[in-house]
Structure 1
Amino acid sequence: MSGWRLSRHFLGSTASVREARRFVTAFLNGWPIVEAAELIVSELATNAIRHSASGRFGGRFLVTIHVGRDRLWLAVLDEGGPRTPEVLPDGQEDEGGRGLLLVSTLADSWGVDGDEQGRTVWALLSTEPAAAMQAASCR
């Protein structure tokens, strides 16, 4: 995918989730999909901190925004962990664990690459007007 790409490292702390959202907002200010993108990066960054080595002392995660001709690719690279991120089955009573369900609802597609040494969890959003408005209305 050609286009613009921007990446930034963040410390693996809960305060960095807010910073990651601001990073996305600043880059996508005025786009119809900015709110969906904010929610997605918030969930992915939170998962990196809670479920990977990125949340340990000195840990970090990397947020990448890649804008192509008709797609926005958002990704969070973490420092790995024992479990592969997945959407929890319906009916689970846990208070948490719904972040990837939200990501799967907002994004056109999403996925996970990597292993216990480091994983990239990514989401694709359409930047075409009709699809972007649909993503914005899912909030």
Structure 2
Amino acid sequence: MSPALNSPKEIHRWCRNFPGTRAQISEARQFVTSYLGDHLETDTAQLIVSELATNAIRHTRSGLPGGRFGVTLHAGSTLLILAVHDEGGSSTPHLCRAEDEDQSGRGLCLVETLSARWGVHGDNAGRTVWALISLTPADQAA
């Protein structure tokens, strides 16, 4: 178990900003791993942050030269809130229907499947896309 999550009664918060480049998506995944350590849900959280960071870079001003995105993690003993903050853009994140021919937006279907809940706050000046991930309690992980 990561030192960040060593006490089941505490809530921990980690934040980090990243340059808005594709290379930083792997850095965001590593940030999640550093936070969760060998927790059972680390792979799920890595996949979700990868999808959300990719969307921030592809669909918002975060992906423009000099752009940035941020990742915030809040965790208690049984719940992780993973949020990606972007610099806004003209489109709003949304789920695509299966019959949509456009391949964009399919990552959010994955986020919806892997998380207990997800949502979006903000507007074209900047937004946060978040996902709630249920965590296996430390005493049940063994």
Instruction: Name the TM-score, length of structure 1 as normaliser.
Output: 0.88
Which of the residues 82, 86, 96 maps onto 1:74? 82
Query: Aligned partner of 2:45: which letter?
Result: A
SS in 2 for 1:89: coil
Task: Please list the CA deviations of residues 79-99 of structure 1 after superposition, one character each: whole Å capped at 9, or x if unmatched.
Answer: 001111001111122334311
Gaps of 5+ in 2: 1-9
Counterpart Cα distance in 1 of 2:95 and 2:35 = 28
SS in 2 for 1:85: coil
Which of the residues 43, 46, 60 maps onto 1:35? 43
Is residue 97 of structure 2 the alignment partner of residue 89 of structure 1?
A: yes
Is residue 7 of structure 2 the alignment partner of residue 7 of structure 1?
A: no
Gaps of 5+ in 1: 134-139
Counterpart Cα distance in 2 of 1:60 and 1:39 = 19
Q: For the aligned residues, what is the CA RMSD? A: 1.6
Instruction: Name the TM-score, length of structure 2 as normaliser.
Output: 0.87
How many residues align? The count is: 130
SS in 2 for 1:62: strand
Moved over 6 A (4+): none
Counterpart Cα distance in 2 of 1:29 and 1:3 = 16
Partner of 2:69: 61
CA contact (8 A) 2:121 2:129 kept: yes
CA contact (8 A) 2:40 2:136 kept: no
Task: Please list the CA deviations of residues 17-53 of structure 1 after superposition, one character each: whole Å capped at 9, or x if unmatched.
Answer: 0110011011111111000000000000000000000
Counterpart Cα distance in 2 of 1:111 and 1:71 = 16
Is residue 112 of structure 2 the alignment partner of residue 104 of structure 1?
A: yes
Larger Rg: 2
Counterpart Cα distance in 2 of 1:77 and 1:95 = 23
